Structure 1
Amino acid sequence: MLKMLLVDDEPLIVQGLQAVIREFDEEIEIIGTAKNGMEALTHFANEPCDLVITDIKMPKMDGLQLIEAWKKEQPETKFIVLSGFQEFEYVKRGLAIGIENYLLKPLNETELLETITQIKEKVEADFQATGDDEAYYILRDNALWRWLNDRIGIEDWKERMALYKMPLAKEMRTALVWIQPMYGQVDRTADGWHKLQSHLRAEYPFMLLNPEEELLIGLMAEDEAGIAAQITTVYEEIGALIGVEQCFFLMSEVGTGTAYFPKAFRGLEQLLQERLVSSPGTLISADKILPHRWRPNFSQHQLARALVLQEKEKTLTWLDNFFTEWEAHLYESDPHQVIRVLSEVALMMSESDPEQLLKAIRRLDGAATPCELKTTMLELIHPFFDRNQHDDNSKSPIIQKIISYVTEHFTEGMSLKTLGAKFHINAVYLGQLFQKEVGSHFTDYLNQYRVNHAKEVLMTTKQPVTVIAEESGYTDMAYFYRQFKKYTGYTPNGFRKKEKVQ
């Protein structure tokens, strides 16, 4: 990560630079800003900094004086100088003390960003040249990870390949292996773990650590037999150093060339949930997945009722029974269906809190074992029942939102399904909760509200019935007439005549 300091006595210039740089590359860290050279030297000279962008003319200490003093503390820092004037003496002095570029205000954004890109590559290359392995591999692994996640363009990637001296291997057969140590099972500070990393880095150019400190290895060979031999070797090396039973192994299908690796990674992501029905230490790959003969039998209405009626013990019993039945059919089950069911349950308990729901879904998707899944569900269930111990006479926040929404949008089309999607809550659970707290089915409540509105307009205006029906939320006149008579005992015209007589 490139660390940068901005020095200029014009606040608008500093703000503009911050905006442009952050939009250009989110990995650049701006360690601070200063109004003049003295302030920059006093507050930041002892902090690691790769690049200083500084104005020339500033009070107390100008840009060139800052550079000369700074280099005594951090000689490796690079500098870009800004000026409002093309002054030859300043340019000459700047070149003499080793600036990277001299840019005139108003700044040419393209030239600035090109210069920053060149400096970033120099800094990365310097890490490699000085033998700073840890810093070099952090930078390289970050670049590889961004590439696997399609966050680097092809031209940018080719430049980085050249920078890190990595082969393109256009004609070779390739595959990607993802090795995930089980949480809490592997000591990542132990010698065996570090020896494994060093050994794999030396043997495989495309080995990296992702942000979760899991290993990804790009295999390259002349044919598929060579790929199979390499995965066997990797498996044996891991077994010797940390134990294969402590890890999950995911392997992509075989492709051609290193350009295949991002696609291979997307395939591996699709295999993640297969960990739930696989034993640690076994190889998980698309061609080795067993047929999914068992799927969970899930009654939404039964569970929704238990949640609505605040029956915590019944809910916990349902959860225990679900996991007991699943584990009895574990290796023939479809993990995607299991996650779908548990996600629906999480949706019931989210109470229209999108942030809570998103966290829950991410944890469910990321779980590697049934135990992790059950723990996640229990961490949702207990707070849900604690949160809902409100006064029996009050309405829960989600029902209050629904009633308020109906009041403001009753003329629009809506149903439990559309409201569930809008407010991020399971539709079945919402329907049962609404009936419990309001005392009627949602459809009855909505029709009653719309008919009451229509009655008011019929009594106070001379608008045609067709217009009133549409303004009350009805597009089907026959349905409007049926609902109006159901709740009033009259047709719309009959009701209007009755009210006039009275």
Structure 2
Amino acid sequence: MRKVMLVEDEEFILQGLKNILDWEAIGMQIVQTAHNGKEALEKWDQNPVDIIVTDISMPVMDGLDFLKELRKTEERARCIILTGYDEFDYAKRAITLDVEDYILKPINEEELEEVLKRCDEELRQLDQKQAADMDDKAGWIQFLRGNLTREEMESYLSILPEISPNTEVWPAIMKLDMESLKSARMSDVLLEFQEEKDIRVIYLSAGNLLLLLYGKQSEEDCTSRLSDIQAQIESRYAILSFISVGSPFEDYHELPASYEEAKKLQKYQVIEGYGSCMSAIRVKEKGSEDISVDNARLRKLILKKDKEGAVSYLEDLFIHVIQKDVSIDDVYKMCIQTAMLLQEIKEEYQLENRKNMQNLTELIGQIYQAEDLFTIKTIFIGEAAEIITYLHEEDSQYTPVVKQILSEVQKNYKEDMNLKTLAYKYNMNASYLGSIFQKEVGCTFAQYLSNTKNSIAKDLILNTNMRINDIAKEVGYPDTSYFYRKFKQCYGVSPASLREMKKY
């Protein structure tokens, strides 16, 4: 919503301006009104706006004098002048004050709406240019990596404000969630920091900002200040972020080393999640503690083809991690141990090259790319479930009738299949057929059919753009809500959540 201020000394005209348009429909909100230029300046200081609609002839301070004072400190706001005087001199003065347009009273509703929309477009272009100007400073990344000559470094440092005596600078990296950050909103975030006198922001790349916080303060005060900014941005724009803080310095030449410290702390987003601010002190408080993975138990559950038990064990393992105050290195150590166990099983049963199966390098790569524990947990549950599905198929001890049923499920999983109709087809007692099926396959016929449907659905979710409702029907679930329940039972995550995990 663009914020608008109306400045008009005649109350009935002011009320008319409020009601002449559906402001919300054109993406605008009237947040301030004033009856003269002096009052408008005071209200501007309390709450700046994007667009000002002002009369010219007003007591105390007229509209043009108001804009003249405003332009001494503010260049971005768009201004529209309303007047009953059709005089060229007024228009000439308005042009020097960067006025968007000059509208005569009585006000034409369509004309005002057109000018407001033009203001909105002008603001959008200004904000995009500002973001682009920040983006042009991509050389900052080379500077932070220490890849510039001393002369080039000095040219970048000259852009930054001088560090006052007895002042420290705390560097921090703010990573923005690209799902919640829309391209048109980066300018909103950058503008938010312009109002903070003690913070300088440098736009490094899409979704990554370098924050420089000036002032002599403790690490606790620093993280508290940055957390307040973080909460403010989230509440205003619904943009999620994670902040990591490096060591303070008094000389900009120390910035690259301190930046590297903050960069290493970014990996704690996996544990802490968005909305957190991580510093070196918080890392030290976590200490180090091994996370026990019962490899023998997990292996036994997988080889017994107990999908429900394996999923439950992995769920409990990650709940255990969340409850402990562990370091990120401990989490990655646990994940690599689990990934190696799954790889051993795949190699032992020659499953490495099967569809939807990943090798150890791919699996570890996904773990390190994951942004939270929920995603890592889902990766492991999905991998374990696929191994169990293939183990079912690889069992060579199936009797001919069970092999036929398995083959029929693979071909006709969309159909309304059940043991009763299959028993009739193969001239067998339904109870007996169910008994031998469970003994040989390791699960009930209904569970095997459900696993097959869910495995195919998972492939469609990850590798196509089909709608979830259509996928449910494609695999034989006419009731989408029932499909959601069965899929979550199988993989521990809903179909929609799985699709949102881009890196999975």
Q: TM-score range by the shorter chain?
A: 0.3 to 0.5
Q: TM-score, normalised by structure 2?
A: 0.42
Q: TM-score, normalised by structure 1?
A: 0.42
